[in-house]
Every structure is written in C-alpha cells, then in structure tokens.
Chains A and B, each alone.
Chain A
Amino acid sequence: MTSTEIDSSPVLLRGVRPYGEGEPVDLLVADGRIVAIDAAGSVDAGQAEVVDAAGLVALPGFVDLHTHLREPGREDAETIDTGSASATLGGYTAVFAMANTDPVADNAVLVEHVWRRGREVGLVDVHPVGAVTVGLGGERLAELGGMARSAAQVRMFSDDGVCVADPLLMRRALEYSSVLGATIAQHAEEPRLTVGAQAHEGERAALLGLAGWPAAAEESIVARDCLLAHRTGGRLHVCHVSTAGTVEVLRWAAGPLAALPTLAAGGRPGRVSAEVTPHHLLLTDERLATYDPVNKVNPPLRTEADTLALRAALAEGVIDCVATDHAPHAPQDKDCEWSAARPGMLGLETALSVVVETMVTTGLLDWRGVARVMSERPAELVGLADQGRPIAVGEPASLVLIDPTAHWTVRGSESASLADNTPFEGMRLPARVVATMLRGRFTARDGKVLRWIDSC
C-alpha cells in the first residue's frame, strides 16, 4: 500500500455507468458534490481532471454498520488508520466502529476519541457505536444520552460481541434510546444456550467434537427483541443474521407482529432492521474440517440451507443490508487451536466481491440492488444525511467505482488491514473496487490509498 497526497480539484468521470444502468455518462464532481451528469463525451471538463471511467459502474459509497477497528486497546490487530484504509479500498465511505474496544466505548469521552481520530485519518467517516451497557457488562445502561449528544453524535448502540441477554435491560435500552433517535444493535445470542459453543450445532460439529452453537440461541433472542421493540417503540437492529429460522422470525416481525395494535407509549410502532455478513452469505460449516480458526466466527458459519435463506431474504428486503463484521485479529489470536482462537474475519475489502458472487451472479440482485443493501439502506437506518444518497446532480459525491468484469484472487497479506485473517484467502472472486471518492475527493484509486489530512 502506498499513500499519496491529493488535492480536491474537480474531477470528470468520463463514460461511467451509474448503477450499471443505461448508456454511459459523464459525471462532473466539484466542491464535494455532483454538479453535472450528461451523455458520455458531452460534458466540458474545464479545469477538472478527466478520469477514463469507461466500463466502470458507479454506486454510492458503501456504508458498513458493523466494523471492528480495535483502537483503542488492540492496535496490534487494527487501528482506526489501517481499518479506514481497508474500508476505502473496499469501497466504503462510512463505517460504524463497534464499541468492544479496550477500554470499552461506553462513554462520551471514548466515542469522541474514536470519532476525532477517524476525522484525522480522513479516509472514511468513522462513526463510533456506543456500548449499551457499562463495560459490555450487561448489568447497567451506559450513558446513552451523553454519547448521543457528544461530538460523535452516536446513532447506534451495541454490546456486540456479547448479547444484551437480560430482557428487562433490553427493554429499558429500547425505551430509553427511542427518544434519542438511536438504534439498539443486538448481538443475538442466548448465552445459556451457547455455553462453550464452538461451531454451528449440527452434523459437522458433532463429527468434529465441537460444542454446538444452536440456531435457536439466535432465533429466540431475535423473537424476544422484536416483541420488545414493538411494545416499546424502540429501534432494533439485528446484527449478523445467520440462520434460516431468524429470517422467518424477521418475516413474522415485519408482518403479523407489526400488524398488532402496539402498546407503545403514544402508539409509536417499533422498527426492526437486520444485517447479514458477506461470509454468512457464502461460507458454510463444511469449511471447519481442517480446524483452521480462520473460519471461526460468531455467530458461526451455518449450513448451505441457511446461506440460501439469507440470500433470498436479502434480495427480498427481509434483511435490510450487508454489514461486514470486519474483525481483524493479531496472528497469535488466530493461529492457535480452535477453542483458543478468537472469533472473527476480515471483511471490508472483500465484501463487494462476495456480494457480487452470491447475489449478482446468481441473479438475486442487480447493481441498483447492491447500492440498496450496501449504501442506501444502511445509511437510512442510522439517519446519515450525506451517505447512501442517489447519484444525481446536487448530491454529495461519495461514490465507489467498480470494474464489474474483473476477477481477483484474495490474499490476506495484501490487505491494508494490519491483520490477515480472511476466510477468502486464495479464492478467486468477481468484481473489484477501482476507486472510492469521499465528498468529491478520491480516497482510494487503483488499489492505492490516497490520504488527505483534514484541517479540522
């Protein structure tokens, strides 16, 4: 990876195809916004740098609601700087950094630190996720209001890594956060059903002698939380949905349950949204045969039937968006025996290609659909005003340019992340991010990170 100082001069993308649709167009960017879109070859470049974008697809920059940046505390695994670099290479213009750092981001000082460091790096918008409970302890609500009102303007709270298992505390979190306009993102895992769990409970785990992580541990919490959201008017976001059963619970929550008269104060309906990770769309527990912990993740890789149900749900909108759960780990935390290894996988730089492999080449989504699940819907869920916006004149120029015909072989060692724990190592995947632009400035281009030091 190399870094290059860049300027903010106007850029003309010549011959690009927004959403992969229609005839190629020229797209002129100036002062951080799209200022002209017209037929290819017809826009006067003026002082703008002309970029040959023939054959490239333009989408709104991706928004990841679920990223682990590890800073503060585990800077040997990832930093806000390296995680941001990885994100921009993956086509992201905004990421939500989970709170399970060390110390935990459970107060205004911590979330402001993460937010400010993200601004200093300046490659993507880093939005800190605040913890729901103090120290992720699951016993006492963290100061959600203080974090929401801080400079970081926290919009999402999550104890991700652990479940808010206490139903009363979860109810309080949904109630309390509802007046803050914030979302509670739940890591759905009933802890009593997953004591010692190491792999998806089923045929493969039984053969390998790995304690099972039953699907019902996820499904039961999601069902409970959907009921609580509808009764409290809270906003619930289900992290990393992994089972076909959870998909059915989400259908029920959006259909029969949502049609019930709400008991929430003022009659406000709750809102339930959900995300799926690229690895749960593609990989199954068949990969566990070698005991290589690069395949260890929480929730675990499930069965082929689960992956197919997740793909269908994402296409139908039952699952709202793709989130990476990008989880870098230092080598000593992964290159060990299975039970000792930490769960998690890299995801930012491979997400687009995995989504294309599982959703586009299968005909389940077109490029507009990719924009919906990777850009527009996640931005909408957390109320980001300048991300996930349409590609139209006057809109912010936060874009990703994609070569839809490219194929590439994943190499963890080539990642901008400090870690290399990718389960896609050696896999040949379709489509590649050619460039990423944040508010009119290229932050990544041709596989290189372009740094710009913000004056703030």
Chain B
Amino acid sequence: MRHLLSIADLDAQAASTLLDTADRLEQTLLGRQVRKLPTLRGRTVVTVFYENSTRTRVSFEIAGKWMSADVINVSIGGSSVGKGESLRDTALTLAAAGADCVVVRHPASGAAHRLAQWLAHTGVAVVNAGDGTHEHPTQALLDAQTLRQRLGDIAGRRIAVVGDVLHSRVARSNVLLLTLLGAQVVLVAPPTLLPSGVGSWPVEVSHDLDAVLGGVDAVMMLRVQAERMHGGFFPSAREYAVDYGLNRRRLDLLPEHAPVLHPGPMLRGMEISSAVADSGRALVTEQVRNGVHLRMAVLYHLLAGEEVE
C-alpha cells in the first residue's frame, strides 16, 4: 500500500488486513499505562487540514504519537497556505522538509489524488482524511471496525445509510467498503440528497426510513450540513427530522441487535434525537475509539513497510 486515497484502492483482503491490524494494535495497548509503541520511531507524519476537523485530526495525531512517529500539524491560518500558496507547492515543500507521510483534509474532491501525483517521485505516502464530497476512507474503515466488533462478520449483513448521501464523503467510502466486505447497503434519503448517478451503485435506494428499519442489521446516520438546510434540498429541518430523523419510535422499529452509528458531529433533534444518541444502541464513542487504532493500522502499513495485499 503506497497511499490510502480511496476505498476503491483496496480489495477485500487488504481491507480485512487493515481491520485485523487495528484489532491487534488495540489488544497490544490494552491495559498499558504507557500507550506507546516504538514502530514508527524516526518517521514524520504531517497533517495538513484545509478544513476544520477536531476529531479526525486529533485521531490521526494520537495514532501517530502512539506509534512513536513525530507528528506535525500544519496550521493553515498561520502558514504560507494562508498566504495563497498552492496545494502543489505545499506538497513539494513538505516532501522537501522530510515528511514521510502527509495526512490531508481538503474541501476539493480529488485533492488527495492530486497530492499523491505531485509526490509520486518522492516516496511520501498520502492519506486521504476527507476530500470534498468524494471519500473519507479511514472513517469507513473505523465504521466497519465498529460494526465488526458489534455484529461479527459484516458479510451478508444489511446496513442502512441514512441522510445526505449527495454531499457525504463518508457515504461514498462506506458504500464501497461495506459492499466490498459483502454487506448489502440500502441508502435512505430524499431524492434531492442522492447523487444522480446513484442508480449505478451496488445499493438499494429507499425514501421510506420506517419501511427499511425493520430489516437492517445496523443504521449509519449521516451528517446534514447545516448550511444546506435552506438550500432547497428539503423544505425544513423539521420536515427532515419527521421523515429521516432517527428518534425513539424508529429505534424501536430496529431489530434489537442492530446498532446506530454516526460519524459526528451530530445534529441532535434533526438527524438523531438525544434519546437515541445517548442510548446504548449508539456507538458514537466506540467509533471514535476505533478511529485511533484504525489510523494506527493505516500508518503502520504505509510506513512500517508491511504490505497490505
């Protein structure tokens, strides 16, 4: 594995290997007072976030530090990036300065791919930490990890992904990964929040959340970006909550074994009610915890030389 840009770069074996590695790393650290492995000592990981994201950035930073890598966070506002330097020049600067791995979050779809192209001759690894409305592969991997821990094998499971699929990089990565691992995916959203090409995806599509919930093994709620609430994608936050929000009544429609996931941050009262978010069925904190181990696994396979095939 040279980079992690998209779930599409992985096959089922490689994805499972990453999940297994994350499991092993979690077990290794379990109960330790000092959560530090020497594996990436001397390696430098730079996180470059062009969008704010506390949870993803911190997750990568902790992952790198627990592996003993030197982790450097580039502050956009105080750097040359804030002065208008191009992404290409920033990439080349980081490579020249000695970065071994660049973790990038960027508002433009494909930015991580472009970064990898510019760095192709340098040997620097690139991890896509979310690019525009394209993909967020580590989020999908940590979601799969969380599902695997709760449900056992993902293959054959039926997973509902609910909400703003159109703008969601999390949804794209999850559709790819869950189907890669043998799950059935059903997308639930109003037509305005589904991409026009969704008909070619290997998924079912529904606009009726109540009808779907009884037959699924898990529900992944997606974040609706607040700025889109008045963009004509749906009439009002209230109507969205009525039709697509996950509340206590809907939780009762779910099979008892089925958990609820949300990538956060949650819009309580709209996407998900507090009663659901704070219930034992919601695995939000497990997702965050798994995120660190999963990102440790990604950095390990990228920087420690062990191939994921």
| B and A form one assembly | yes
Residues of chain A whose beta carbon lies under 8 Å from any beta carbon of chain B: 198, 201-212, 214, 290-292, 332, 335-340
Q: Is residue B131 contacting chain A, with contact meaning CB distance below 8 A?
A: yes
- CB of A206 within 8 A of CB of B195, answer yes
Chain A contacts for B195, CB-based, 8 A: 205-206, 212
Give me 25 A-to-B residue pairs in the complex whose CB atoms sit less than 8 angstroms apart, sorted by A's number. Answer: A198-B109, A201-B196, A201-B197, A204-B197, A205-B196, A206-B195, A206-B198, A207-B172, A208-B110, A209-B135, A210-B110, A210-B134, A211-B133, A212-B195, A290-B117, A291-B114, A335-B88, A336-B86, A336-B114, A337-B106, A337-B110, A337-B111, A338-B109, A338-B111, A340-B87
Q: Is B113 an interface residue (CB 8 A)?
A: yes
CB of B200 closer than 8 Å to a CB of A = yes
Q: How far is the CB of A212 from chain B (nearest CB, A)?
A: 6
Could you give, for residues 83-118 of chain B, a 1 whenever the CB lies within 8 Å of some chain A CB and a 0 otherwise? 000111000000000000000001111110110010
- Supposing A291-B114, A336-B86 touch, asked if A208 and B108 sit within 8 A by C-beta, the answer is no
* Contact partners of B135 in chain A: CB under 8 A: 209
Q: Give the chain B neighbours of A207 by CB distance below 8 A.
A: 172, 197
Contact B86 A332 (CB under 8 A): yes
Shortest Cβ distance from residue A142 to the other chain B in the assembled complex, whole angstroms: 33
- Whole-angstrom distance between the alpha carbons of A336 and B195 in the complex? 25
Residues of B within 8 A of A339 (CB): 107-110, 132
Does B169 have its Cβ within 8 Å of any Cβ on chain A? yes
For the A-B complex, the count of residue pairs with Cβ-Cβ distances under 8 Å equals 73
CB distance from A403 to the nearest CB of B (A): 36
Most buried by A among B109, B134, B198, B201: B109
Q: Which 7 A-B pairs have the closest CB atoms?
A: A209-B134, A291-B110, A206-B197, A206-B195, A203-B197, A209-B133, A209-B109
B87 touches A336 (CB 8 A): yes
Residues of A within 8 A of B87 (CB): 336-337, 340
Q: Which residues in window 199-218 of B have CB below 8 A to A?
A: 199-201
A78–B131 Cα gap in the complex (Å)? Answer: 32
Indicate with 1 or 0, residue by residue over B215-234, a CB within 8 angstroms of chain A CB atoms. Answer: 00000000000000000000
Contacting B196 at CB < 8 Å: which of A206, A209, A336? A206
User: Do residues B196 and A214 form an inter-chain contact, with CB atoms below 8 A?
Assistant: yes
Q: Which residues of A contact B199 (CB under 8 A)?
A: 203
Q: Cα distance A337–B200 when bound, in Å?
A: 26
A290 CB, nearest partner CB in chain B, Å: 7
Q: Specify the chain A residue showing the minimal Cβ separation from B111.
A: A337
- Hey, which chain B residues are within 8 Å of A212, CB to CB? 195-197
Chain A residues near B109: list those with CB within 8 A.
198, 208-210, 291, 338-339
CB distance from A202 to the nearest CB of B (A): 5
A290 to B, closest residue via Cβ: B113
Report yes or no: A205 in contact with B197, Cβ–Cβ below 8 A.
Answer: yes
Task: Determine the distance from Cα of A292 to Cα of B88 in the docked complex, in whole angstroms.
Answer: 13
Using CB atoms, name the residue of chain B closest to A339. B108
Nearest residue (CB) in A for B165 is A206
CA distance A206 to B199 in the complex (A): 10
Would you give the shortest CB distance from B7 to chain A, in whole angstroms?
A: 11
B168 nearest CB across to chain A (Å) = 9
Q: How far is the CA of A332 from the CA of B118 in the complex (A)?
A: 13
Is A291 a contact partner of B86 (Cβ separation < 8 A)?
no
Complexed CA–CA distance, A262 and B111 (Å): 52
Q: Which residues of A contact B86 (CB under 8 A)?
A: 332, 336
Question: Which residue of A has the minimal Cβ distance to B132?
Answer: A209
Q: Are A202 and B114 in contact (CB under 8 A)?
A: no
**Closest chain A residue to B201 by CB distance?**
A206
Least Cβ–Cβ distance between B154 and chain A, in angstroms: 22
Given contacts A206-B196, A208-B134, A210-B109, contact A337 B114 (CB under 8 A): yes
Residues of A within 8 A of B107 (CB): 339
A291 CA to B131 CA in the complex, in Å? 12
Structural contact, B88 and A336, CB atoms closer than 8 A: yes
Instruction: Produce 1/0 per residue, B132-144, CB < 8 A to A.
Output: 1111000000000
Scoring A211, A290, A338 by chain B CB atoms within 10 A of each residue's CB, the highest score goes to A338
Give the CA-CA distance A290 to B198 in the complex, in Å.
Answer: 20
User: Closest CB-CB distance, B105 to chain A, in whole Å?
Assistant: 13
| Most chain A CB atoms below 10 A, which of B106, B111, B197, B200 | B197
With contacts A209-B132, A209-B134, A290-B113 known, is A337 near B108, CB below 8 A?
yes
Q: A201-B196, A203-B200 are known contacts; what are 15 more A-B pairs with Cβ within 8 Å?
A: A203-B197, A206-B195, A206-B196, A206-B197, A206-B200, A209-B172, A211-B133, A212-B197, A291-B114, A336-B86, A336-B87, A337-B110, A337-B114, A338-B108, A339-B108
- Considering only CB atoms, which chain B residue lies closest to A291 in the complex? B110
* Bound-complex Cα distance A291 to B200 (A): 20
**Bound form: Cα–Cα A335–B115 in Å:** 11
Complex: A195 Cα to B86 Cα, angstroms:
24
A26 to B110, CA, bound (A): 56
When chains A and B are docked, how far (Å) is the Cα of A206 from the Cα of B135? 11
In angstroms, Cα B114 to Cα A336, docked, is 7
**Smallest CB separation, B4 vs chain A (Å):** 16
Known contacts A209-B133, A290-B117: A338-B197 contact under CB 8 Å: no
> Which residue of A has the minimal Cβ distance to B113?
A291
Partner of A202, one of B131, B133, B197: B197
Residues of B within 8 A of A337 (CB): 87, 106, 108, 110-111, 114
Smallest CB–CB gap between B191 and chain A, Å? Answer: 13
In the assembled complex, the CB of B309 is this many whole angstroms from the nearest CB of chain A, namely: 22
CB distance from B32 to the nearest CB of A (A): 39
Using a CB-CB cutoff of 8 Å, which residues 260-285 of chain B contact chain A? Answer: none
Inter-chain CA distance A337–B109, complex, in Å, is 8
* Alpha-carbon distance between A292 and B111 when the two chains are bound, in angstroms: 10
Chain B residues near A204 (CB-CB < 8 A)? 197
Min CB–CB distance B157 → chain A (angstroms): 23
Most buried by B among A203, A206, A207, A209: A209
Q: In the bound complex, do residue A338 and residue B196 qualify as a contact, i.e. CB atoms below 8 Å apart? A: no
CB distance from A236 to the nearest CB of B (A): 28
> What separation, in Å, do the CA atoms of A203 and B117 have in the docked complex?
24
B131 proximity list for chain A (CB < 8 A)? 209
Known: A209-B133, A209-B135. A338 touches B110 (CB 8 A): yes
Specify which of A205, A207, A332, A336 lies most central, judged by the most chain B CB atoms within 10 Å of its CB.
A207
